Chains A and B, each alone.
Chain A
Amino acid sequence: METREHVNRERVAAVVVAAQHDLSYLHATLDALEAQTHPADEIIVGVSSLESVAAQALADRGVTVVSVPEARNFATALTEMWEKTGLAANDSVWLWFLHADSAPMPQALDRLLRVGENSPKTVAIGPKQIAWRDEPPTLLEVGINATRSARRVPEIERDERDQGQLDSRSDVLAVGTAGMLVKKAALVEVGGLNPDFGPFGDGLELSRRLRHAGYRIVVEPTAIIRHARASLTKDLSDSFGARRLAQLRNGMIAAPSWLVPLLWLWYPVLGVIRSLVRLLFKEPGYVKGELVAGFGIWGSLGIVRKARHQVRQVSAVPRSALADLEATPAQVRYAKRESARSRSEARAMADQPGPLVLKARADLRRYTRRGAIITITFAVVISIVFFLPVLGTGQIVGGSLAYGQSTAGDIWRAIYSGWIPSGDGYAGAVDPLWVLLLPILTIGNIAGLTLGHLTSAIMVLAIPVTAYMAYRAIGIFTRQWVVRTVLAILWACNPFMFQALAEGRFAGVIVATLLPAAFLCLLKAWRNRWGYAGALALVLALLSAAMPSFLILTVVLSLIGVIRGHGSRLRWAAIAAPAILVYLPVFYRLRASDIPDFFFATLGVPQTSFTDVRAIPGFEWSAEPNLNWLIIGAALALICAAVFALFRNTNAGIVRFGWLCVALGISWSIVAPHAGIGIAPDFAGDVTTPWLGFGLLLTWSGLIVCTAAGADSLRTRLRRRNFGVAHVVAFSLSLLVLLAVPAMPAYYLINHFQEESPTLLRTSADPLPAVAIEEQRKGNSVLVLNAEQDGISADLWRAEGAQLTDYSALRNLRMVHEGHPKGHEHLAQAIANATAGSTEASAQLAAHGVAVILIPATGSDRFDDALQAQLSAVSGLEYVTANESGRFWRIPNVSRVMLDGAEDIQARHTGAHGTVEAALEDRVLSLAQKADPHWRARIGGSRLEPTGEAWNQQFTVPANAAGVLRVEYRDWTVTSLGIVQVLTVLLTAVAALPIRRREGGIE
């Protein structure tokens, strides 16, 4: 062993910096310093506050303690210590950087120094870093192997043993500051540590500068330090933002100068993309870090410029001198692949099942697959038979389901503007359900997907998707494929699903379809399977969007999760966030009078509903009452099975949860009929009440969950017992439930096909004549009149029919509380005037943007003939012809924006644009849009004043006003809320995608 007495070695000053987070390791590190075979000549400890350490005790150990209260990282601490201790002036040749949590092994300094002493060009020597707990020794770092953009090559696995596998290294691109032995003169020459880095990236930055100055950076693997890496934090995601920002800064410092501005612009974008990818791979904790780092680079331009300037100043060798030491992106990718492969092998090695287990697993997989195939096939057949009359081209409409020609763009415009282009238009909020479907619409936009196509597809797929999700959900409780198949079919083919489908109750279909998924995700998340958290948030948001009562349930579940659930409380709280945030624009529009009924409001054409839950067991809606025993028997079997489940110990908590759902569903169905949520669009004008199916679907789902949870391992338990009552009861109930499988769909299919006038229809090919479509393209409307026994029903269409977006839940509710808007009254009067030959009728209709009047061919000839005769007598209406669409008239020169003397105005759904010539007198600019305070109009940049008390928006155009006319609807609050809403949907959708969480080391 060499000692100081025999060799005159260069002097070393050990510089230890202790921050608050690693202060607890300080004494152990100092002990390790004292135990060095070649001790440092001087030990200087920098601490943020002398009160935080026993300063006197340290001084007694011969350590110089310096207070560095202003230090925010190693570099700034060193600067303070430099000034306070005379480091610059003393005779130490080397500085040994140590973090308070990096304790060197006894021979570390000796071996580092020996390397330095042997090579004048070597000015920085790094040790091998292993984990703080050194038994067994776990490798952390042997020099820094990184790309030019500062991406580290993930060459060391998490918890990888140190077996000397990287001990052959010597020259490296960089070494970390923990344990770095650096020659003081070289450090001074290159400008010291960069104070803008640390605790991350400072070693790489300094090493690169030293390399540029022509020096060598070497790692000495025989010199070992134990590093606790306290800066990394317990949850790695907490420190990720700082690490990533350091990496980006280093990347920009090393990049060619022409690339710097591009990177400065690109990194924030990359941050957004990477944060989405993080969500996609179920790493929500890293999202913040990605965004902080990505956008943090915008404020780092000065830091980068300064650092690059420093590099240029010290640069003594060409850039290529570093290139050989830098890793390539291909190496990073290769290392990641290797890492994944080795993890996979490790898992396989750790789990070496025996042949019997393997066979059992294979059998289970086969049976599970078989059950899934049978379930889905059965559900698909039922769905095809059910929808047979309306399958084909076009959309499925009828009942509550209106046309859906809106594309993703249309919906986005409505969200952004807050103006719903329906009829005379109105300030409203797009239903959150359509907003949640926006990602699918956006992707499908390439193929011309409209909302109507999507709703039709969802209707047709509802039963199979429900069956599949139910199959998966029931798999939580039992692995018996027969039980899963039977109960999944019963869950999918429930009475309320069929009713929702038959009556076009789209919101009901969504709830029926998603309830199994909600149970699946909730139970998985409750069992700490966080891969399901995103899906749970999305499903709860969709359920809430379909029926706002679920919003309350979502918040309650979230609170229960926060209080009692496993895992992060923040995540449980975040589960309710999408459901709430997508409702923000609706909340903004809600009035106090709307609130009680709002929680029961549903989108779609209002339909009268069965209101007496007491009569449900009688199935009074049945078209074939003689078969009611089928459905009553099936329901009773399920109830008995659910009661039976209460007597078992298996899944007791789940069974009780299921029963609470049963009670909750019934409670909802008792309370809901007291809410008025819309007005049926017929002459009687019945105030519609919520569809009881929403509550009863929850009840049904609860019964299924109880039965499934109670059936778990039932067969095994019964086998172990002597034959008795339990066997008889279990067998009887199983038989009844089994019989319910064919009975339930058969009952509803028979009923469905016996309906004389089915509700669901397929849209016709030519609902409108070409001239009407052309006028709609110009922004005008088509007035569709249906003469009936009771009167005339009028639809003001801006597309090929009343649209799904026209019947928003909020608008339906508003009609109950506030009645028809003034625009409706004006239009009704105009139509009545037209039926009596009024000379003013055509002008009154034109004020609503009506350019074409259509009596559809589908109506009754008797009343239509009368209406035609009446319209024929109206001056200003030009009869065009009668064709497959019906009989129609034109009103010439109609525009949604009317201004005397101005012809060059292009109307849009939410505004207008054009040029206006000056006039001698004041004029009125009249919009065929409902009046609203957020309409804005400007001519030549001057704002026009709103005027009049009319139903529609009007502005006064002063005499001589001329220039470019701009009319728009702008409500920035709505726009902001809309953006939040859309971002919420986007992030939730990404987080919900069924992609497994990545496994990997520290990035």
Chain B
Amino acid sequence: MRIRHMLSGAAVLAVTAAVTVSAWFVPSPVPQNRPVAEIMPEAATLALICNGGVQRTVEAGVNVNAGSETFGGGAGILDLTAANSTWLSFEDNARASTADPDFATIKFPSTGLANVTYADGVVYVRGNSGETGRIAGSTLVRADQGDLRGLINNPCVWADNSTWLVGSDSEVGTYNVLHLANPMQTPITVTIEAYSATGKLDLGANATVNIPAQSRREIRLDGLVDPAERTAFHISSVAGQFAAAIQSNSLDGFTPAGIDMLTSADYGSSLVIPGVVIPASASHSADTQSSSLADPNTSATLRLVNPTDSEVTVDVSTVAATQSADLPGGSDLRIAANAVLDLSLTGLIPGTYTVQVEASADISAAVMLSESSGDAGTDVAWIAAQEPMFTAGARVAVPGTLAVSSTEPTTATVEMYTRSGDKTEEQITVDGVATLAVPAEIEYVWVDAQAPVVANVYMRSKLAQGYGIAVAPLTAGADQSVATKVLVKP
């Protein structure tokens, strides 16, 4: 009995031990998932809005050192949807009236400068054109000298109900024009919120703006917004979708101090700003990494806006080529509630960077690049935080550098088109930041990536004296802009 007792006790212990040990030999279960796929809306009409170009903000007075104002540039919208790429023209609306019933355009009354063609209207696509639409365009203006000196790019954008425009200031000498366009068939009301370093700015009755159906408005913010050395704007509507951009130009006395168009910046707790170019001091050659010293005539500044009612903690890091690094002094930054903070990126060695921002709450951000040309003046370019996308394109029209960045290694196909429609194609590997020179004859680039990427084209153009700079952010393909994931429960 005693032996039986011991044996049975040992047996149960052995069974338990054997079962426990077997856990190390049984293969681990393979995790499975059924992720929710993106759905492309059917029978939806999408609107790509081209919001024109530069408006004259200063009626008189130019730098005595400069010559007379001269403007150049132009506009263009390339549609790659059809088998043959097509340059669109708002005036003739040719495609809408003939071949493609899913395609239509309207043209806004033009308010542009003389001798420069503006893209000033709306492209509506639906059906197949909407699902596969690869359309991008912009108005690019080059002012060789004068108060508006600089290179200004205003890309066409898909209508949205919320736009963050991060940049500029509202001090004396700075002129801000808000461009608003309503592509819808009903009038909408948009709300404008302005933020400064010291908090939210009171716009009073000007905080809401009505935009009639299928029309655009330009609103001079000078005088409406209290003076502030750092600003950021949030334009939103719960009534419909629209497009917004702010033309910002500054004068330092009578010397042009920079002009650019603020475009929509991403909003979230994890932001990515691609194509931050820190030129080398030796020259502005294509090989920006030839020197370890940055060009002293250039600078880069990160602007962060915290629209929440509580303090936000931010960590900033940079990615250059395949290397990621925390930005010195960029850790554990605290942004007060409703405040705008600038962080200088001075000290970065020359190269093309992607700036990554991780915040404890949703914020928005942009990087300002500036290049001084001595007495001729300075030009600036604002690079807005960008939402990652698989397929996107941009009109360039001047030589530049395409920078593509991804959080995971991937490959991307870059198609480049000349004005005459000739296409060249290149495969690039993206592991961190990849760059590709865009030759002068190229007017249009389109990127198709295997993984979500952020990308833009840094453009630099010789002006009468010195250089002007601008950045062309890539506009997502039509499906990228509206495709959404819908999770149905239960």
Binding site for B on A (CB under 8 A): 402, 422-423, 605, 611-614, 643, 646-647, 649, 652, 655-656, 659-660, 662-663, 666-667, 670-671, 673-674, 676, 679, 681-687, 689, 789-796, 802, 806-807, 811, 816, 819-820, 824, 827-829, 831-833, 835-840, 862, 865-866, 868-870, 872-873
Contact = CB atoms under 8 A, between A and B. Distances in A.
Interface stretch (B36-44, B64-72, B275-283, B297-305): B36-44
Interface stretch (B11-19, B96-104, B342-350): B11-19
B45 interface: yes
Contacts of B38: 791
A791 B29 contact: no
B487 A682 contact: yes
A603 to B, nearest CB: 12
Contacts of A827: 486, 488
B484 interface: yes
Contact of A869 (B16, B20, B238): B238
Contact of A684 (B26, B35, B268): B35
A659 B19 contact: no
A795 B488 CA distance: 6
B462 interface: no
A837 B45 contact: yes
Given A683-B36, A792-B485, A829-B42, A663 B12 contact: yes
B49 to A, nearest CB: 15
Contacts of B160: 866
Nearest to A811: B490
Contacts of A685: 33-36, 487
Interface of B: 5, 8-9, 12-13, 15-16, 19-20, 22-24, 26, 28-29, 31-36, 38-46, 130, 160-162, 184, 186, 236-241, 267-268, 362, 482-490
Contacts of A611: 28-29, 31
B166 to A, nearest CB: 15
10 contacts: A666-B16, A685-B34, A685-B487, A792-B484, A793-B487, A794-B486, A795-B490, A802-B489, A836-B45, A873-B241
B41 A794 contact: no
Contact of A790 (B26, B186, B237, B485): B485
A686 B42 contact: no
B34 to A, nearest CB: 4
A658 to B, nearest CB: 9
Contacts of A791: 36, 38, 484-487
Given A828-B486, A865-B236, A835 B41 contact: yes
Given A656-B9, A790-B485, A794-B487, A673 B29 contact: yes
B12 A666 contact: no
B211 to A, nearest CB: 13
Contacts of B239: 869, 872
A666 B15 CA distance: 11
Nearest to A870: B161
Contact of B42 (A422, A838, A873): A838
Contacts of B44: 833, 836-838
Q: Which of the listed residues A422, A605, A647, A833 has the most CB atoms from chain B within 10 Å of its own CB?
A: A833
A108 to B, nearest CB: 58
A807 B241 CA distance: 37
A685 B35 CA distance: 5
Contacts, number: 177
B23 A794 contact: no
Contacts of A866: 160-162
Contacts of B42: 829, 832-833, 838, 840
- The 6 A-B residue pairs with the shortest CB-CB distance in the complex, in nearest-first order: A836-B44, A791-B485, A869-B161, A836-B41, A659-B12, A828-B486
B28 A829 contact: no
A605 B490 CA distance: 8
A646 B9 contact: yes
A802 B487 contact: no
Contact of B13 (A402, A643, A790, A792): A643
B39 A832 contact: yes
A827 B12 CA distance: 55
Contact of B490 (A666, A802, A840): A802
Contacts of A646: 9, 12-13
Contacts of B29: 611, 673-674, 689
Nearest to B20: A666
Contact of A676 (B19, B28, B32, B268): B32
Contacts of B40: 832
A832 B33 CA distance: 22
Contacts of A869: 161-162, 236-241
Q: Which of the listed residues A646, A687, A832, A865 has the most CB atoms from chain B within 10 Å of its own CB?
A: A832
Contacts of A670: 19, 22-23, 26
A643 B13 CA distance: 8
A78 B26 CA distance: 77
Contacts of B31: 611, 686-687
A660 B43 contact: no
A840 B41 CA distance: 11
Given A673-B28, A831-B488, A838-B41, 4 more contacts: A811-B490, A836-B482, A870-B241, A873-B186
Nearest to B191: A865
Contacts of B490: 402, 422-423, 605, 681, 795, 802, 806-807, 811
B486 A831 contact: yes
Contact of B41 (A655, A656, A833): A833
A833 B13 contact: no
Contact of B12 (A660, A862, A868, A872): A660
Contacts of A674: 29
A145 to B, nearest CB: 58
A611 B20 CA distance: 15
A614 B33 contact: no
A868 B28 contact: no
Contacts of A868: 161, 238
Contacts of B35: 683-685
Contacts of A687: 31-34
A681 B34 CA distance: 10
A666 B31 CA distance: 21
A695 to B, nearest CB: 11
B239 to A, nearest CB: 5
A663 B488 contact: no
A683 B35 CA distance: 6
B20 A681 contact: no
Contacts of A840: 42-43
Nearest to B483: A832
A872 B15 contact: no
A686 B13 contact: no
A978 B211 CA distance: 61
Nearest to A865: B238
Given A828-B488, A836-B41, A865 B46 contact: no
A607 to B, nearest CB: 13
A605 B487 CA distance: 14
A862 B162 contact: yes
Nearest to B31: A686
A501 to B, nearest CB: 22
Contacts of B484: 791-792, 832, 835
A689 B22 CA distance: 20
A816 B34 CA distance: 8
A679 B486 contact: no
A824 B5 CA distance: 60
A838 B46 CA distance: 10
Contacts of B23: 613-614, 666, 670
Q: Which of the listed residues A667, A689, A835, A873 has the most CB atoms from chain B within 10 Å of its own CB?
A: A873
Nearest to B482: A836
B46 A792 contact: no
A683 B19 CA distance: 36
A662 to B, nearest CB: 5
B489 A792 contact: no
Contacts of A862: 162, 267, 362
A862 B34 CA distance: 27
Nearest to B47: A837
